[in-house]
């Protein structure tokens, strides 16, 4: 029997949808249009003088070599964060899925980092890894490993990737755990009876059945790495040293809020929006075909 909502009054569905549409319009579409409009303007910080300059802000951006570096940094950063957090989440979920004593405790301990705000996560890791204050940093110095995220771009990138990925592992863990629980035990047991080892069982049976969850998490992780990691970067490295950890979203903030260049910042915002829309469309078009529902 198909469930279908039947509305006797013509306006009721619109009235029910109206609040959500209002919220989406005011908090998503209006700022987006304002960003697009502002990207065509050249203004001073106080908004006292406005000049309509067509695509100048965009041309200025694309003729700046550091912008391409920022795009590359963002791609590297997002890929690393997505790969590390997805694989760690999957690994932990498949281990926590086993019937263990205190499984509930392990799961809770693995889930709580998600509740930590990005900036707080950044500061936590900073206390471990800061070259002067950090405990781990002192340990590294004792071992003779050079660690200076204030000057070395790779060290700084390592630091922010670790903090950003750590936060997202628990989110992925939660979803993978749910996905694993949905797999019927009979399929796995049948494979075990046929003599498949656990790793082979995992890759040929469990993982393909997890693909809907994995696809969803891939999209969410990419969006997270592009946008929500701002707090981590701002708390830890402020985009430095020498722009080594400046992602696109951080650059929007740095140029707009700190630098007062609102037109350029709006242009960057619009470009970032288009990149993420493109990435998500590609994911939905090509990767979704491989998902087994």
Q: Show Cβ contacts of residue 109 under 8 Å, excluding neighbours closer than 6 positions.
A: none
Quick note: the x/- pattern for other proteins over 153-192, rule CB under 8 A, is x---------------------------------------
Residue 111 within binding range of other proteins, rule CB under 8 A: no
Residue 199 within binding range of other proteins, rule CB under 8 A: no
Considering the complex, state which of residue 43 and residue 211 has its C-beta at the smaller distance from other proteins: 43
Q: Estimate the crossing angle of helix 118-129 against helix 153-181, to 10 degrees.
A: 130
Contact by Cβ (8 Å): 273, 249: no
Considering the complex, state which of residue 97 and residue 152 has its C-beta at the smaller distance from other proteins: 152
User: Out of 113, 241, 275, 291, which residue is the one contacting other proteins (CB under 8 A)?
Assistant: 241
User: Out of 95, 100, 117, 150, which residue is the one contacting other proteins (CB under 8 A)?
Assistant: 150
Considering the complex, state which of residue 11 and residue 46 has its C-beta at the smaller distance from other proteins: 46
Please give the structure tokens belonging to residue 284.
């939905």
Kind and range of the H or E run holding 51: strand 50-52
Burial letters 215-247, b for 16+ CB under 10 A, else e: bebbbbbbebbbeebbbbbbbbbebbbebbbbb
Please give the structure tokens belonging to residue 29.
């579409």
- Least separation, in Å, of the C-beta of 245 and other proteins? 12
Residue 135 within binding range of other proteins, rule CB under 8 A: no
Kind and range of the H or E run holding 37: helix 30-38
Residue 49 within binding range of other proteins, rule CB under 8 A: yes
Considering the complex, state which of residue 113 and residue 153 has its C-beta at the smaller distance from other proteins: 153
Question: Which residues here bind other proteins, judged by CB under 8 A?
Answer: 42-49, 51, 132-133, 141, 150-153, 238, 240-243, 254-255, 257-261
């Amino acid at each position: 029997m198909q469930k279908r909502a039947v509305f006797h009054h013509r306006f009721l569905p619109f009235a029910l949808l109206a609040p959500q549409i209002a919220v989406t319009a005011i908090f998503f579409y209006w700022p987006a249009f304002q960003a697009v409009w502002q990207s065509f303007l050249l203004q001073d910080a106080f908004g006292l003088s406005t000049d309509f300059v067509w695509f100048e802000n965009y041309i200025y951006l694309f003729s700046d070599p550091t912008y391409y570096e920022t795009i590359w940094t963002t791609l590297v950063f997002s890929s690393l964060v997505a790969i590390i957090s997805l694989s760690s989440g999957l690994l932990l979920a498949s281990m926590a899925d086993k019937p263990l004593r205190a499984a509930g405790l392990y799961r809770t301990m693995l889930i709580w980092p998600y509740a930590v705000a990005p900036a707080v996560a950044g500061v936590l890791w900073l206390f471990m890894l800061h070259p002067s204050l950090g405990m781990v940093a002192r340990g590294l110095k004792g071992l003779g490993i050079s660690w200076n995220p204030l000057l070395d771009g790779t060290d700084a990138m390592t630091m922010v990737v670790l903090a950003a990925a750590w936060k997202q592992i628990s989110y992925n863990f939660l979803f993978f755990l749910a996905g694993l629980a949905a797999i019927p035990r009979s399929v796995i047991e049948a494979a075990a009876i046929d003599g498949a080892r656990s790793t082979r069982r995992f890759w040929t049976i469990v993982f393909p059945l997890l693909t809907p969850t994995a696809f969803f998490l891939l999209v969410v992780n990419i969006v997270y790495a592009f946008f929500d990691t701002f707090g981590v970067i701002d708390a830890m490295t402020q985009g430095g040293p020498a722009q080594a950890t400046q992602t696109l979203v951080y650059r929007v903030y740095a140029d707009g809020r700190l630098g007062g260049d609102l037109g350029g910042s709006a242009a960057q915002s619009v470009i970032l929006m288009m990149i993420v829309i493109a990435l998500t469309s590609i994911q939905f078009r090509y990767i979704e075909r491989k998902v087994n529902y």
